[in-house]
Amino acid sequence: MPRVPRLVLRAMLGAVALLAVALIVALVLVDPNAHKPRVEAAASRALGMEVRVNGPLSLRWRPGPHLLLHDVQAHKHGADIAVVREVVVNLEWAALLRGDLRVRSLELHDGVLTIVRAPDGRFNFQRDVPGPPRPPHDGPDVSFARATISYADMRWPRRIEGRQCRGELRRIHMAGGDRRFLAGLSLHGEAACAEVHAGDLLLADASAVAAVQDGVFEFQPLKARLFDVPTSGRVRADFSAAPPAYQVEHTLLQVPAQPLLRALSLRQMASGRVDFSARLAMRGHNAEELQQSMQGTLTLRGRGLTYNGADLDAQLQRFESSRNLNLFDIGALFLAGPAGLIVTKGIDMAATTQGERGHSEIRMLVSDWVVERGAARTHDVAMATSTHRVALKGGIDLVNARFDGMAVALIDAKGCATAQQHLSGKLDKPVVERRNPVEAIAAPAVRLIKKGAELIGGDSCDVFYAGAVPAPTPK
């Protein structure tokens, strides 16, 4: 290499090194706390809320240049949005050498984040008066640890709170322009919380991996422990168009029946373990719109359950002879299954169960439902006790919480209904078909006539049930 260019190169490198050293020394000598008001003002302008650094502010250099802020508070209209014990603002070396404080990433430690969504869909952290459309821009990576995250949507009845949460959000990009906040968002990340409270439900060890592209959110896998049982699923939420669309898939295996019923505000009618799965798609801005558009399947199945509070076989035997019992009271067990999960009014479907105290074995329970356009219809709903089989057929209007052509029946070995009752009216005030006195008196003669007709006409009948629950056989 010629001698002159080599000397020029060395001189240039030396000048850059001296400039860097001079800049670093200048920054070290400056007291960062003297610039705290400027930092607060800049953060307030950028976030559109009032930001205060109540503790000391310091500048550190390892492992890279970063500002350390203590006791940071961000609030709007008198309500806290973020209260964080420690915030680490990591800066870019190259920008720092140019005299520019450019944020590379943010770390939040020991904080409480409160997110509220108003009825118009806007979040509490968004600007009150939107300015001119912003150009597309990238945000810094954000990580958090030991955080409590609270989310409330004014259009929904339940608040969600995650405790002892940690996570990281990367490649944050906003499309800019006139697009809504969620519709223009892209990012990748993951998060985990020791506990997630949603109303009376408690999820432990909850975690999710998120991929968001232009307003389409994919959470897969979603994992947690519910009632101390592992659960998994996925959620897809599309905010790119209005109204937003959702897809939910969830599986819960061998969950204890008692806490599941208690979480639904239902009486603890059964003990044992059941499997639950759901595949639902819906679209809308609020609960009513989601219910009206809902479609998919819901399944609840169990074996070897115990029905608490009554001897079902004794009651069913009494019903066969006198019909003085509501089959609806027994069929309520089905309605406490998957359909009950999407009727949000907390109705106790078994509140009217009466009869002698005791318990019964439920050898098999199948409760499969098809949901379409705001209505849940039975696909295969039945249970078998030691000596009887009961089936349910019909639908539930989820939007209006009403029965729709619902019937519950005692089923013989051929799937024929030996006795049935029809249900109508509101779920919380069901109207059960009653037999009149003349029919009750004539019941023994009617049964004899039916048996004679079967002997003459063979085994033909109108099959009420032909599902997966077999007729009980003596042990």
- φ, ψ dihedrals at 435, nearest 5°: -80, 140
pLDDT of residue 440: 44
Residue 313 contacts residue 319 (beta carbons within 8 Å): no
Question: Does the pLDDT value for residue 318 go beyond 80?
Answer: no
**pLDDT greater at residue 22 or residue 258:** 258
- Please name every residue paired with 115 in a beta bridge, in sequence order, or none if there are none: 151
pLDDT for 164-212, tens place per residue? 999 999 999 988 777 788 888 999 999 999 999 988 789 999 999 999 9
Indicate the domain borders of the chain.
Answer: 243-475
Is the four-CA dihedral 441, 445, 446, 447 of positive or negative sign?
positive
Q: Mean pLDDT over residues 305-323, rounded?
A: 75
Alpha carbons within 13 angstroms on the beta-carbon side of residue 143 total 7
Q: pLDDT-derived band of residue 102, with 50, 70 and 90 as boundaries?
A: confident
Q: pLDDT-derived band of residue 77, with 50, 70 and 90 as boundaries?
A: confident
Question: Does the pLDDT value for residue 380 go beyond 70?
Answer: yes
Question: Does the pLDDT value for residue 436 go beyond 50?
Answer: no
Q: pLDDT-derived band of residue 222, with 50, 70 and 90 as boundaries?
A: very high
Rounded Cα distance, 234 and 278, in Å: 11
DSSP state of 34: G
Which of left, alpha, beta for 177 (phi over 0: left; psi -120 to 50: alpha)? left
Q: Mean pLDDT over residues 456-462, rounded?
A: 60
- Give the tokens for residue 399: 């939007």
CA distances 174 to 99, 187, 369, 401, Å, are 26, 9, 41, 41
pLDDT of residue 52: 92
- φ, ψ dihedrals at 250, nearest 5°: -150, 140
pLDDT of residue 61: 75
Question: Does the pLDDT value for residue 328 go beyond 80?
Answer: no
Q: pLDDT-derived band of residue 441, with 50, 70 and 90 as boundaries?
A: very low
Mean pLDDT highest for which of 15-29, 231-245, 456-470? Answer: 231-245
Report the percent of the chain where pLDDT is more than 90. Answer: 33
Angle, alpha carbons 165-167-170 (nearest 5°) = 155
Q: Mean pLDDT over residues 121-144, rounded?
A: 81
Angle, alpha carbons 445-451-455 (nearest 5°) = 145
pLDDT of residue 149: 95
Q: Is there a cis peptide before residue 56, judged by omega within 30 degrees of 0?
A: no
Question: Does the pLDDT value for residue 24 go beyond 80?
Answer: no
Residue 190 contacts residue 210 (beta carbons within 8 Å): yes
Q: pLDDT-derived band of residue 65, with 50, 70 and 90 as boundaries?
A: confident
Rounded Cα distance, 157 and 177, in Å: 33
Q: Is 287 helix (H, G, I), strand (E, B) or coil?
A: helix
pLDDT of residue 389: 92
pLDDT of residue 331: 64
